[in-house]
């Protein structure tokens, strides 16, 4: 190419030299009309150049694949792809491959569509053809990882000793270039694989999982297809009637079951495994059905159900629903795991917790989905925290008499020792010009206990707690007349010398929450936390008040 260009330039210099010699021989007056001279000179050079035998195209030869045409034109010219091109025309995909946009096509040879419905379901056929097309140019050297096909599903590449595969289909011929892409030949059709969501819906032994997903959908206001006509007193938008709603599942957003561009592995519990997990919850409640909390609606007062406290006007889906949500969230792991190694495999699930799968629990080998892999398990190992929920104690001095609903009795779950006593629960707040202003807290009230002296003790008893480890949390209301308190669980010392009056009360003050320590409840049953007055702060003036909002046991993993 370099030598040809040098010859071309030499040829041009020779023509220009001959032209100037002709001008001199004719005594042409250059100075008389210089502009006309320049124009004639340029025209003469172009005329001579156009008459030469050598053209520019003889020195720059365009690639042959540009002359062969678009991807669809190249496919049409090859009789081996006659069936494929006819189906592209039938579904309108031919126009896609005739545009200037760049595509990669995995072209199946004739006969590859045998056994595939190419007549009755054009929608499914178009989705299948979309699996053969990538919206970018991918050559053999770049076949790695995964890429989204125009069908919206992933194509996964893998290398073999003889070449490469796409979704396990062998590529038999590579890198046929076209003016708008590249063609690779395959012996078989790349069929659209089900994603993880599709796999659950289609499997009869995963019907419990399917039912859980269906129940996770909620109707939410469609923010796009509604017209705002104003705002209410809480600054929430008011929409024009009728209000449009859409179905949304927060669980599907977290699990990525339907997301084709997020690869993950699912360890799906079969109906047998789900039934066992629910049965184990009854065992964890010491076999007592009355300790399994059912679903609670929104409209109720502060209540204790199954030994657990529920704040007024708060909904609760029920222990079984919470258990299943924990279970089905725990069984997903980010990334693809095509095989398990060894008898026991431990992973970090999407909730950030460890999840263990043993060989004996696996019912099936890894199954391929378009967005990952999945295993079916007939048994599931779940952390004991699945069965241990929060337990609350509200220090109400008086409770309803179980023998007579019109009367109240002293709360049997509060034990006073060495002259300690209490006053009724009061609203947290301060008085300004005779008006009570409430502080912000969880319950909005507290009970004022009086130790009366150093050495007095008060025991709070939570009637039922599932065995395991718990963090003990105390919410209290500080005041300048409070004393110094230490806590214990049996022989175990918890937080010692808590100065409950250090933070002096003021209008902006909220309830204080203190981590009292961690306890190990070794058997199902009641938990008793003792508070002892060990001293008084400098401003107590011999008053030893202890203003308690609540006591809470929060499940934690075993150390």
3-state secondary structure of 487: strand
Is this prediction's pTM over 0.75? no
Decide if pLDDT at 436 tops 60. no
Decide if pLDDT at 450 tops 50. yes
| Residue 531 structure tokens | 């508070």
Helical packing angle, 319-330 and 271-284, nearest 10°: 130
Identify which has the larger pLDDT, 367 or 47.
367
Decide if pLDDT at 81 tops 80. yes
d(CA 233, CA 236): 7
Decide if pLDDT at 117 tops 60. yes
Distances (CA, A) of 27 to 21, 36, 71, 501: 10, 16, 61, 118
Residue 280: the pLDDT is 92
Question: Any idea which of 357-366, 529-538, 539-548 has the lowest mean pLDDT?
Answer: 539-548
Residue 339: the pLDDT is 87
Question: Any idea which of 90-94, 418-422, 424-428, 498-502 has the lowest mean pLDDT?
Answer: 424-428
Decide if pLDDT at 196 tops 70. yes
Beta bridge partners of 445: 427
**What average pLDDT does the segment 166-188 reach?**
87
d(CA 97, CA 135): 10
Question: Any idea which of 61-65, 96-100, 239-243 has the lowest mean pLDDT?
Answer: 61-65
Residue 262: the pLDDT is 86
CATH for 65-186 is 2.30.180.10
DSSP, residue by residue, 427-465: E-EEEETTEEEEPP-SSSEEEEEE--STT-EEEEEEEEE
Phi, psi of 307, rounded to the nearest 5 degrees: 80, 10
Q: How confident is the model at residue 21 (pLDDT cuts 50, 70, 90)?
A: low
Residue 515: the pLDDT is 94
Beta bridge partners of 247: 219
Average pLDDT, the chain: 80
| Tens of pLDDT, residues 463-514 | 889 899 999 999 888 766 667 899 999 999 999 998 877 655 444 456 788 9
**What average pLDDT does the segment 35-47 reach?**
53
Decide if pLDDT at 462 tops 80. yes
Q: What does the buried/exposed string (b/e) look like for 535-558 if buried means 16 or more CB atoms within 10 Å of the residue's CB? A: ebbeebeebbbbbbbbbbbbbeee
Q: What does the buried/exposed string (b/e) look like for 14-42 if buried means 16 or more CB atoms within 10 Å of the residue's CB? A: eeeeeeeeeeeeeeeeeeeeeeeeeeeee
Residue 488: the pLDDT is 96
Identify which has the larger pLDDT, 218 or 491.
491
Q: 106-120, 366-380, 528-542 — which one is most confidently predicted on average?
A: 366-380
Of all residues in the chain, the percent with pLDDT exceeding 90 is 21
Question: Any idea which of 49-53, 189-193, 438-442, 512-516 has the lowest mean pLDDT?
Answer: 438-442
Distances (CA, A) of 344 to 339, 341, 347, 385, 430: 12, 8, 10, 21, 59
Q: How confident is the model at residue 274 (pLDDT cuts 50, 70, 90)?
A: very high
3-state secondary structure of 61: coil
Of all residues in the chain, the percent with pLDDT exceeding 70 is 80
Residue intervals of the chain classified under CATH 2.30.180.10 are: 65-186
d(CA 186, CA 106): 6
Decide if pLDDT at 29 tops 70. no
235: left (phi over 0), alpha (psi -120 to 50) or beta: left
| Tens of pLDDT, residues 57-70 | 443 344 555 666 78
Residue 36: the pLDDT is 56
Residue 444: the pLDDT is 56
3-state secondary structure of 362: strand
CATH superfamily label, 391-555: Galactose-binding domain-like (2.60.120.260)
Decide if pLDDT at 382 tops 90. no
| Tens of pLDDT, residues 121-168 | 888 888 888 888 888 888 888 888 888 888 888 888 888 777 888 888
Decide if pLDDT at 265 tops 70. yes
| CA-based nearest residue to 470, from 444, 503, 492, 438 | 492
Residue 204: the pLDDT is 92
Summarize the chain as % helix, strand, coil (round to 5).
25, 35, 40
526: left (phi over 0), alpha (psi -120 to 50) or beta: beta
d(CA 300, CA 86): 66
Residue 37: the pLDDT is 57
| Residue 118 structure tokens | 């190419």
Residue intervals of the chain classified under CATH 2.60.120.260 are: 391-555
Beta pairing class for 512-521 and 445-450: unpaired
Question: Any idea which of 55-64, 244-253, 445-454, 509-518 has the lowest mean pLDDT?
Answer: 55-64
Identify which has the larger pLDDT, 63 or 236.
236
Question: Any idea which of 65-79, 398-412, 515-529 has the lowest mean pLDDT?
Answer: 65-79
DSSP, residue by residue, 206-246: GHHHHHHHHHTEEEEE-SSS--EEEE-TTS-EEEPSSPPEE
**What average pLDDT does the segment 384-400 reach?**
85
**What average pLDDT does the segment 6-26 reach?**
50
| Tens of pLDDT, residues 343-377 | 888 999 888 888 899 989 998 888 888 888 999 99
**CB neighbourhood size of 384 (10 A):** 15
Residue 554: the pLDDT is 94
Tokens 């001279």 belong to residue: 37
Identify which has the larger pLDDT, 225 or 380.
380
């Amino acid at each position: 190419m370099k030598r040809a260009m040098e010859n071309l330039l030499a040829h041009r210099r020779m023509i220009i030299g001959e032209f100037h010699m002709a001008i001199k021989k004719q005594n042409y007056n250059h100075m008389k009309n210089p502009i006309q001279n320049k124009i004639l000179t340029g025209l003469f050079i172009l005329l001579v150049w156009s008459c030469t035998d050598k053209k520019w195209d003889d020195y720059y030869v365009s690639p042959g694949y540009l002359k062969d045409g678009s991807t669809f034109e190249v496919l049409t010219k090859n009789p081996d792809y006659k069936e494929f091109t006819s189906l592209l025309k039938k579904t309108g995909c031919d126009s896609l491959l005739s545009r200037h946009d760049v595509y990669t096509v995995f072209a199946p040879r004739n006969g590859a569509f045998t056994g595939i419905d190419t007549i009755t379901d054009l929608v499914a056929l178009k989705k299948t053809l979309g699996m053969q097309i990538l919206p970018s140019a991918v050559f053999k050297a770049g076949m790695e990882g995964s890429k989204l096909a125009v069908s919206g599903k992933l194509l996964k590449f893998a290398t073999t000793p003889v070449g490469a595969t796409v979704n396990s289909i062998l590529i038999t011929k590579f890198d046929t270039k076209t003016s708008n892409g590249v063609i690779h030949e395959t012996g078989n059709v790349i069929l659209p694989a089900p994603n993880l969501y599709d796999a659950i819906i289609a499997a009869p032994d995963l019907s419990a999982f399917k039912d859980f997903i269906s129940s996770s959908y909620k109707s939410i206001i469609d923010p796009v297809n509604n017209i705002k006509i104003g705002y209410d007193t809480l600054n929430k938008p008011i929409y024009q009637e009728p209000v449009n709603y859409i179905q949304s599942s927060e669980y599907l957003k977290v699990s990525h079951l339907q997301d084709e561009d997020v690869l993950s592995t699912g360890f799906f519990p079969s109906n047998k495994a789900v039934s066992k997990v629910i049965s184990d919850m009854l065992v964890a409640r010491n076999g007592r059905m009355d300790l399994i909390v059912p679903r609670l609606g929104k409209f109720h007062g502060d209540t204790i159900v199954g030994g657990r406290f529920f704040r007024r006007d708060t909904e609760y889906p029920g222990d079984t629903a919470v258990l299943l949500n924990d279970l089905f969230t725990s069984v997903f792991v980010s990334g693809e795991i095509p095989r398990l190694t060894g008898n026991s495999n431990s992973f970090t699930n999407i909730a950030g917790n460890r999840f263990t799968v043993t060989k004996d629990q696996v019912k099936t080998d890894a199954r391929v989905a378009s967005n990952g892999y999945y295993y079916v398990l007939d048994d599931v190992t779940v952390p004991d925290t699945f069965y241990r929920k929060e337990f609350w104690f509200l220090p109400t001095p008086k409770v309803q008499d179980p023998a007579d609903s019109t009367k109240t009795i002293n709360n049997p779950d509060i034990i006073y020792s060495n002259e300690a006593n209490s006053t009724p629960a009061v609203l947290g707040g301060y008085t300004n010009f005779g008006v009570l202003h409430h502080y912000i807290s969880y319950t909005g009230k507290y009970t004022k206990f009086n130790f009366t002296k150093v050495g007095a003790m008060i025991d709070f008893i939570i009637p039922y707690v599932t065995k395991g480890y718990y963090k003990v949390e105390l919410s209290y209301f500080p005041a300048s007349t409070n004393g110094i308190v230490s806590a214990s669980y049996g022989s175990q010392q918890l937080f010692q010398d808590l100065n409950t009056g250090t933070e002096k009360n003021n209008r902006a003050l909220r309830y204080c929450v203190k981590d009292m320590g961690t306890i190990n409840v070794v058997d199902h049953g009641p938990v008793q936390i003792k508070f002892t007055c060990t001293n008084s702060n400098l401003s107590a003036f011999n008053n030893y008040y202890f203003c308690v909002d609540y006591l809470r046991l929060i499940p934690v993993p075993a150390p």
